[in-house]
Structure 1
Amino acid sequence: MTESEDDNPPAGFVASTGRGPYTSHNGPFFHKVTDEGFVHGVRVRKRHCNSRGITHGGMLMAFADGLLGTAVWRETQTVALTVRMNSDFLSSARPGEWLEGTARVTRATRSVAFCEAELYVGTRPVLKATGVFKLMQRHKEKA
Structure 2
Amino acid sequence: MDIFKPIYSTPLASAALPDIPQGYQLLRAGGPFMQANGPLYVRRDGAQLYFGLRVEQRHCNPMGVLHGGMMASFCDMLLPLTVLGQEGPVKNRFLPTISLQIDYLAPSPLGCWLEGRGELLRATRSMVFAQGLVRADGTPCARVSGVFKIGPEIPPEFNGDLLASPASG
Q: TM-score normalised to the size of structure 1?
A: 0.88
How far apart, in 1, do the equivalents of 2:73 and 2:154 lie? Answer: 23
Rounded to whole Å, the distance in 2 between the matches of 1:86 and 1:40 is 18
Q: Could you say if the C-alpha distance between residues 141 and 115 of structure 1 is closer, same or farther in structure 2, counting changes exceeding 3 Å?
A: farther
Structure whose residues are more often strand by fraction: 1
| Distance across 2 between alignment mates of 1:91 and 1:36 | 28
- Gaps of at least 5 residues in structure 2 are 1-16, 157-169
Partner of 1:3: none
Q: Does 1:81 align with 2:96?
A: yes
Sort the Cα spacing of 1:15 and 1:140 in 2 relative to 1 into closer, same or farther, 3 A. Answer: closer
Match of residue 139 from structure 1: 153
Aligned match for 1:15, one of 17, 21, 26:
26
Distance 1:19 1:141, change over 3 A: closer
RMSD of the TM alignment (CA)? 1.7
Of 116, 129, 136 in structure 2, the residue corresponding to residue 101 of structure 1 is 116
Larger deviation, residues 77-86 vs 18-27: 18-27
Identity, in percent, stands at 32
Bigger relative contact order, structure 1 or 2, given CA contacts below 8 A and separation 6+?
A: 2
- The answer on 1:90 being equivalent to 2:105 is yes
Moved more, 11-20 or 106-115: 11-20
Shift of 1:26: 1.0
Q: What are the ranges of 5 or more consecutive residues in structure 1 without an aligned counterpart? A: 1-5
Offset at 1:14?
A: 1.1
